[in-house]
Structure 1
Amino acid sequence: MSKSEPTPSNHHTLIFDVIKTNLGNGYSKYSGTFTAPAAGTYVFTWTINTSPGGAHYLNLLVNGDIAGGTLTDTEDTNDFDSDSSTIVLVLNKGDNVNMRTTAATERSAYIYVDVYAVTSFAGWRIGNQ
């Protein structure tokens, strides 16, 4: 991501607008959605950084259904947080994958980005179905 997301709302799709590699052109930096260009087994990994004093529940969705997730939680006002997760999924051609905030917390935080805290999302195919 190129910039922080200040206190994103519930069900806010995260858009990772900085693309390093996009073989097969499956990822849209405008919608934040990866569309599987071919059926197969895929690995997805993400790192989400949050600003002090807040928390977010985040989920990886496949065709709108929760497939994985993480909780970012900074426990005090001087604490930044970085959480990562990885999932392996079997996808059909045309399946859509994206990240979004899922459950509201009473301590909403920035999804934090700077040169030292890279908030990122990546995926790649490891084999045919």
Structure 2
Amino acid sequence: MQLSMYICLFYVIVTIGQTNVITGQGEDRSRQDLEARVIALENALSTLKTELDAKVASLKCDCSSVGSGLGTLTHQTGKRLLVPATPNKEKPAFYSFLSSDELASTKHHTIPFDVVKTNVGNNYHPNSGTFIAPSAGTYAFDWMIQSTWTGVVYTQLMRNSEVLGEVVADSSHEYEFHSATGVVVVQLSEGDEVFIRTHPTDASTGHIISRPGYRSSFSGWRI
């Protein structure tokens, strides 16, 4: 605002001075008026320069305060201030199956689906047959169990010690393979463990079949 006012003032002074000279209204008087106006303009410009210098000094102080604040924060946390990396957008997912037939008669036995075809995020652990949730959210799981001739297999989907679902593959009265599939959608907390086990009290018989064309499998993904 003030800068614009001073520019306008300069324009008016110069214009008036030029007009006086051109119209010839007394050479001495015109010179005196012009000198007075030039002095007034110099004073105005000096005042403007003083104000601008003060504003520049104020801005430098503000910048110093910001730098000091960042330094204090860095000292308190003991860490460098870094821009967070772009998070991985891929959601955890896995698909696994048994590499061979598994004895089903052991109660309360976690089934280790040891062949892993998909394991986004590496949250499924084939050695233990356990999926560990990397973060809280909604997940879907399914498992398919094949029972041998005249056998019956009771299985449960577990979250830690909680039963989320159960299926029975029953070939006890048939000379053929039977299968059973379960699907569960559940809210998990970070660190929850999900796995398939044989029933703790109902006794299974025979084997869980897993061969080319008859794969017993376990899979899951975050929705």
- Fold match, TM over 0.5? yes
Identify, as 1 or 2, the structure richer in helix: 2
C-alpha deviation, 1:48, in angstroms: 0.4
**Contact 2:130/2:195 (<8 A) preserved:** yes
Residues in 2 aligned to 1:8 and 1:18: alpha-carbon distance in whole angstroms: 22
1:63 is matched with which residue? 160
**Contact 1:42/1:89 (<8 A) preserved:** yes
1:109 is matched with which residue? 206
SS in 1 for 2:208: coil
Residues in 1 aligned to 2:216 and 2:153: alpha-carbon distance in whole angstroms: 14
Q: Which residues of structure 2 form unaligned runs of 5+?
A: 1-97
RMSD: 1.2
**Contact 1:113/1:119 (<8 A) preserved:** yes
1:118 counterpart = 2:118: no
Q: Which runs of 4+ in 1 moved over 3 A?
A: none
1:83 counterpart = 2:189: no
1:40 is matched with which residue? 137
Q: Which residues of structure 1 form unaligned runs of 5+?
A: none
Residues in 1 aligned to 2:117 and 2:213: alpha-carbon distance in whole angstroms: 17
- Tell me the percent identity: 39
Residues in 2 aligned to 1:96 and 1:23: alpha-carbon distance in whole angstroms: 16
Higher relative contact order (CA 8 A, sep 6+): 1
Residues in 2 aligned to 1:17 and 1:98: alpha-carbon distance in whole angstroms: 12
- Alignment of structure 1 residues 86-97 onto 2, 5 Å: 86-97=183-194
Residues in 2 aligned to 1:77 and 1:7: alpha-carbon distance in whole angstroms: 17
Larger Rg: 2
C-alpha deviation, 1:8, in angstroms: 3.4
**TM norm structure 1:** 0.92
**Contact 2:168/2:180 (<8 A) preserved:** yes
Identify, as 1 or 2, the structure richer in strand: 1
